[in-house]
Amino acid sequence: MAKRAEKKAPKQSERLNYGEVSRELKTGGPQRLYLLYGQEDYLREAFLGELKALCLPDGGDDFSYHRLDGRTLDMRELEEAVNALPFLSERALTEVRGYDLGRCRDQEAEALERIVSDIPEYCTLVFVQDSGYEPDQRQKAVKSLKKYGKAIHFTSQGQGPLVQWIRKRFAALGKNALPDACVTLIYLSGELMNGLIPEIEKIAAGTQGELVTAEDVSRLAMRIPEARVFEMTDQLAARDYDGACRTLADLMAMGEEPIAILAVIGTQMRRLYAARVAVDEKLGGDFVRQYCGVKFDFMVDRLLRSARGFDTEDLARAVELCAETDYAMKSTGMDGTDLLSELLIKIAAGERA
């Protein structure tokens, strides 16, 4: 959970426009080399499916389609696959899954560059990375793939496209999801499509009638830890200490580690402090969106609303308390659950330094 919290939301200019990428593929045809990576694995696999359909319209065979395991890949195997002639199709496709570009150095990196710089016209080579992979632009292997091919970063989608996609998924199940229901689902269950699909199916099955409302989503959707922490801070802002403790107990029951919960609480407190400063200085929602890396308008509004329930100095101290608790967890050997409970008491009481 901590890793998810630390990832910054992509800026609008950095967010992938999947429709544009798909149209480019269909109009321009497959290129010889691709590097596919990013958290949004649903779109990554959708693009790979489109690429396969264009390269192998009649389906793959042992001559035209090669899928290689990146964990055991060697350059001789890759070179043989890339240079193998297609048999029953005009193009060949070689797919490499999970190759660790970080370990590709020296002679291996040179061999890789030699291969990708001279891919036959009839072949498409695609490197498919796991969702947690982030390319290191300093690595020679990464530079080679970007120099000779096309790197596509599959990011989470913006609020508009994601709401539209959710509504289409519900419509395919015979349901009409209201826009605020879709926004609530994003808030509660996250923004990655593969995580939303089972929630959409569960909500559709558990909702009577055609209409799906925000109340239906709140009743049925799984809450990711970040959403639970958001609820916890809202409870603290409302001085509902008992409710915050119940939410903390729920998070622990979900199997989340105290240090991971603390990381998300710390992130949320920093966001609330920034939002409170924005309220005090009349900086507006754009400041919160940019400073906190929040991409959805409804989350900016919620941060601003929740921040108004705290005093500015209390939030500044809450950020310090999170740092102090983090140090105590890592250095004293004290029980993490007890430290988290103590942290909530101090924040709820508005403890000052």
Token reading at 310: 């705290």
Burial call 159-173: b when 16+ CB within 10 Å, e when fewer: beebbebbbebbeee
The pLDDT of 86-113, averaged and rounded, is: 90
More confident residue, 104 or 95: 95
| Confidence tier at 8 by pLDDT (50, 70, 90) | very low
pLDDT tens-digit profile of 312-325? 988 899 899 999 99
Tell me what pLDDT residue 171 has.
Answer: 97
Tell me what pLDDT residue 332 has.
Answer: 81
The closest of 9, 126, 156 to 60, measured between CA atoms, is 126
Tell me what pLDDT residue 117 has.
Answer: 96
| Confidence tier at 351 by pLDDT (50, 70, 90) | low
Contacts 24+ apart (CB under 8 A), 75-84: 75/108, 75/111, 75/112, 75/115, 78/112, 78/115, 79/111, 79/115, 82/115, 82/119, 82/120, 82/123, 82/125, 83/120, 83/123
Token reading at 5: 């919290």
More confident residue, 61 or 122: 122
SS3 label, residue 67 = strand
Rounded to whole angstroms, the Cα distance separating 15 from 7 reads 14
Say if residue 24's pLDDT is above 90: yes
Say if residue 209's pLDDT is above 80: yes
> 243 to each of 202, 311, 349, how far by Cα in Å?
27, 20, 14
| First-last CA distance in the chain | 29
88 contacts: CB under 8 Å, gap ≥ 6: 58, 61, 63, 64
**Helices 41-55, 18-28: inter-axial angle, 10-degree rounding:** 10
Token reading at 305: 């609303």
pLDDT tens-digit profile of 266-291? 888 888 988 898 888 888 788 888 77
- pTM across the whole model: 0.78
| Confidence tier at 303 by pLDDT (50, 70, 90) | confident
Tell me what pLDDT residue 350 has.
Answer: 66
Say if residue 11's pLDDT is above 70: no
Tell me what pLDDT residue 3 has.
Answer: 37
The pLDDT of 22-41, averaged and rounded, is: 95
The pLDDT of 247-261, averaged and rounded, is: 83
